[in-house]
Amino acid sequence: MAINRRQFIQTTSVLLASTKLGASHVPDNSAQVTATLEAAFLNPPDSAYPWVYSFWMEGNITKEGITADLEAMKQSGIHGLLFMDGALGNPVGPHRFMSSSWVELFNHMLTEADRLGLEINLNNDPGWAGSGGPWVKPEQASQRVIIWETIVEGPANLDGPLAEPAGINHDFYEDIAVLAYASSADTVPSYRIPGYNTTKTFSGGGDFFGVVPWPRFIPTRTEWPAVPADQWVHSAKMLDLTELFHDGRLQWEVPSGRWLVCRFGHTVANGGTRCTQKEANGLECDKLNKAAGESHFAAMVGKLAKQVGPLAGKVLVSTHIDSWEAGSGNWTSGFRDEFSRRRGYDLLPYLPTLNGVDVDSREVSERFLWDYRETVSELLLENYAGHFRELARHRGLRLTIEAYDGTCDDLRYAGRADEPMTEFWRSCYSGLPLSDLSEAMTSAAHVYGKPIVGAEAFTSRSRRLPRSSRHA
């Protein structure tokens, strides 16, 4: 007796409900329910069968090995595989990432999977980190704001260069603005907003192992401490000097008094491909920018989906974004306009908060940073996760996401996936036997009506694995 997934869930719900209600309220149909459940477990629907991760390591692959692996999967009752190409220090093989021989073997895998009735989920990039590759140019990569500060005293005729901010990566830098604020201090402010270079601004300064935005929780409060009078600046006393700044040189008639001058720009953020063949090393794409995401998607998933022809949507059924190891990012082209459109005011006067300088008060600064993070999150949800789903569906594919630890909240991120995924075998943060990641992803599945939650398992070495597996 076959039973589909919906019938299985409905029947299971009846059984669970019958254990909570008294006999006077529920008909005694336990024998029928038991028989139905037994039949469902003996003949489960296709959606209930397991999938596996499948890795090609360092180009050490053959057609015979691919066929043997897939036939073993089929014989074991496995219905699909999540495919990744990577490297972990093994001897280098002959089939380099996206080379003609590599693509030939990829086509062979699809053909054999079709013969055996297996389905394939293609990771969206080489290795396992986020969405990066050798095709991502610095201007298409994740960006972060960097800032240089100095004190200038007037009246004076200033005509000279301003230093570039520290922290330029990959020889890429573009200016955002040059601003001046009336200041009563002799030096740049020494008092800074605690944690300003972490997830409070998504600048990446505190990222876990340099790749996971950290900390994951940003506390708030109803009252904020007062800031010393000479350690904060007034938004109303800001002068926009951007039009006076050309080719790295500022020409400005400095008014009387002391002025905090800030040069704001952006560069490539931390993060990039991880565990890849050397040919596949590259930068993380800008997840706040739709065009950058489209370019990345086209370079691998789009190209492979096109060349497998009718097997896309039949055998190649989905693409995947793995758990976030992509670093942070907090800027993109057009960000100022997007902020204004979404939040209803201009961010320019409050940019010093990204470097920890309070503007107007700590309360005002914290409120601005909340708005700033929300704008980053919304752009990521729309231009990255949401748009990837559109790009995938255009090619007949679903989108799966291990939707946690990014520069947005996990719930909404998971809601953009057709299938949220978790890692049930480990507990990164809570220390609980069952991972908080699983709690988050199943919650998102309930909220957004996703019928399936995937679960990565045992893909790393850990002394805690036996304990984890017992409690999973």
pLDDT tens across 175-222, in order? 999 999 999 999 999 999 999 999 999 999 999 888 999 998 898 899
Residues of the chain with CATH 3.20.20.80: 50-137+284-326+379-471
Question: Per mean pLDDT, which range of 229-238, 383-392, 427-436, 449-458 is the poorest?
Answer: 427-436
Q: How confident is the model at residue 61 (pLDDT cuts 50, 70, 90)?
A: very high
Q: Are 200 and 369 in contact (CB under 8 A)?
A: yes
Q: How large is the angle between the packed helices 63-75 and 100-116, nearest 10 degrees? A: 30
Q: What would the pLDDT profile of 15-40 be if each residue is shown by its tens digit? A: 333 333 344 455 677 888 888 888 88
Q: Are 377 and 412 in contact (CB under 8 A)?
A: yes
314 pLDDT higher than 80: yes
Sign of the dihedral defined by the CA atoms of residues 401, 402, 408, 409, in that order:
positive
Instruction: Say which CATH architecture domain 50-137+284-326+379-471 belongs to.
Output: Alpha-Beta Barrel (3.20)
Q: Are 355 and 149 in contact (CB under 8 A)?
A: yes
Q: What would the pLDDT profile of 76-109 be if each residue is shown by its tens digit? A: 999 999 999 999 999 999 999 999 999 999 999 9
Q: What would the pLDDT profile of 189-201 be if each residue is shown by its tens digit? A: 999 999 999 999 9
The pLDDT of residue 18 is 36
User: Which of the 8 DSSP states describes residue 299?
Assistant: I
Q: What would the pLDDT profile of 378-417 be if each residue is shown by its tens digit? A: 999 999 999 999 999 999 999 999 999 999 999 999 999 9
Which residues are CB-contacts of 93 (< 8 A; sequence separation ≥ 6)? 57, 58, 59, 60, 61
- H or E stretch covering 292: helix 290-297
pLDDT greater at residue 40 or residue 143: 143
The pLDDT of residue 432 is 56
Residues forming beta bridges with residue 158, ordered by sequence position: 252
468 pLDDT higher than 70: no
> How far apart, in whole angstroms, are the C-alpha atoms of residue 420 and residue 438?
10
Q: Are 247 and 155 in contact (CB under 8 A)?
A: no
Longest dimension (CA), the chain: 92
